[in-house]
Structure 1
Amino acid sequence: MRAPLPAAFLTTPIAHRAYHNRAARRPENSRAAIKAAIEAGYAIEIDLQLSADTIAMVFHDEDLGRLTQASGLVANHSAADLGQIKLRDSDEGIPTLTEVLELVAGRVPLLIEIKDQTGLMSETDGQLEKATAAELAHYVGPVAVMSFNPHAIARMASLAPQIARGLTTSAYDPADWAPLPAQTCADLRAIPDYDRALCSFISHEAADLAAPRVAELHAQGAAILCWTIKSAKAEAIARNYAQNITFEGYAALLPA
């Protein structure tokens, strides 16, 4: 089943890693940034990593160092420990997906990126996908999942067929994606897994939106989102190709 992307994802700008602003003590993927997005009326994009005890955590990096006052891999810590690790420029710990779903509660669209757990965009062990599917089984509200790793989304097609699925896609310049092999970059650039994973959308790299493959998928019925827009000028350009944007660093205009 190819679950359609809820219509709200095509009309409401999507706050990248929630409506974050570290100067305002709203770090990315934090509760404060999520609350700010809800208050502003934006859709929200979040990222998932897996804890040592197989709990879906709302966090972007696989390593703790950039975003917290700790170091090491997320995967080496339990959910309880991660909840006690403070985000930089915040008194908050790392939230679980459970906590975020309860906070959002269907009030705005929620776009969930399942981060690659393999390092090579290869077949996964399914643990993060299983945790995600279990959390979403009874969630009520506009929600969709996506990943750069097509194997993760193919798994979601079987685990949670009712949830809209998409691929996070890119020009895959090997210089930007090391240590991902150049051949893997070439393979992923062609977006070959869209139909295999029964997707209904892509979220494509903004600088590459004019790629013929993007237009081809759109002509076949795919919804086109994009990442990451950082100014009103860039938004205006992106909207020539994409139906909606994922943004950060400015206040995107909401629909009238």
Structure 2
Amino acid sequence: MIPLPDAFLRAPIAHRALHDLGDARPENSRAAIRAAIARGYGIEIDVQPSRDGRAMVFHDYDLGRLTGRRGPIAQQDADALGALALKGGDEGIPTLAEVLALVAGRVPLLIEVKDQHGQMGRTDGRLEAAIAADLAGYAGDAALMSFNPHSVIALRDLCPDRARGLVTCAYPLADWPLLRRDVRRRLREIPDYETAGASFVSHQASDLGRARVAELRAGGARVLCWTVRSEAEERVARRRADNITFEGYLAAHPA
């Protein structure tokens, strides 16, 4: 188990970087990343695979919402994705390698690996291997996490020197209609924490009162949370979480 570096606990973490379409900063974009660095925030990003096996910094499985071009991101090569402009900005979808070069260790980077299985089962490991290759030799603080425990377990072996965590929540049916009931019931109890060699969870802010989260924290786990959208929500979340992931406002740096 690799402890979560203290850098992830000092400054609030900007969800999908410091995005603001009103200022031409789409989520997970270089512009949003530069803005977060300028304000000294930590950065959370999402990673999806390209068709040719590159790790791309992008949240959705389909390109439509964020680019206007329909179709799965996994069916396009990295060069084509890099040339595809994000809506509300003038830059294409970056690779993880490009983001690492841009951040260059100036702020901590929290990398969420998107589930490629569909039911949080075993994946083929291609995305995890691409992430590990990009992170090799990176000197900055970077931590890895996923809703899918199998991805975190794969990263345990591929990136043994990086802190790993699980993204966790209450798994309500309304938010997870495609996920089987038995999978939702199992995952909400966070049973894979020890097997994954995790040192933190990033838990749904509205569900921080869950007994299992308190149990993990009492046992030494660091608790991050997602996604806080106001100062009022932040005050409540910080009663049970070691740090927040935020968007929609400028979170204050704790004294």
Write out aligned runs for 1:57-72 (5 A).
57-72=56-71
Q: State the Cα distance separating 1:175 from its structure 2 match.
A: 2.3
SS of the aligned residue for 2:48 comes to strand
Is 1:142 equivalent to 2:160 in the alignment? no
Residue equivalent to 1:6 = 5
Shift, 1:255, TM fit: 2.8
2: CA distance between counterparts of 1:45 and 1:139?
17
Q: Which amino acid aligns with 2:73?
A: V
Q: CA deviation at 1:70?
A: 1.1
Structure 1 CA distance, aligned partners of 2:21 and 2:103?
Answer: 20
What does residue 205 of structure 1 align with? 204
In structure 2, what is the Cα distance between the partners aligned to 1:147 and 1:34?
20
How far, CA to CA, are the matches of 1:93 and 1:202 in structure 2? 31
Compute the displacement of 1:87 (Å): 0.3
Measured in 2, the distance between the counterparts of 1:215 and 1:255 equals 22
How far apart are the structure 2 equivalents of 1:107 and 1:155? 27
Q: Kindly provide the amino acid, as one letter, of the partner of residue 26 in structure 1.
A: R
Match of 2:242 in 1: 243
Q: Which runs of 5+ in 2 are unaligned?
A: none
SS of the residue corresponding to residue 102 of structure 1 reads helix
Alignment of 1:217-232 (within 5 A): 217-232=216-231
Amino acid at match of 1:21: D
Residue by residue over 1:49-88, the C-alpha shift from the partner in whole angstroms, topping out at 9 and shown as x without a partner, is 0000000000000100000021100000000000011100
Q: Distance in 2 between matches of 1:3 and 1:154?
A: 13
> In structure 1, what is the Cα distance between the partners aligned to 2:122 and 2:19?
32
Quote the offset at 1:203 in angstroms: 0.2
- The amino acid that maps onto 1:27 is P
Q: Which amino acid aligns with 1:171?
A: A
Match of 1:175 in 2: 174
TM-score of the superposition, structure 2-length normalised? Answer: 0.99
* Gaps in structure 1 of 5+ consecutive residues: none
C-alpha distance in structure 2 between counterparts of 1:89 and 1:133, whole Å: 30
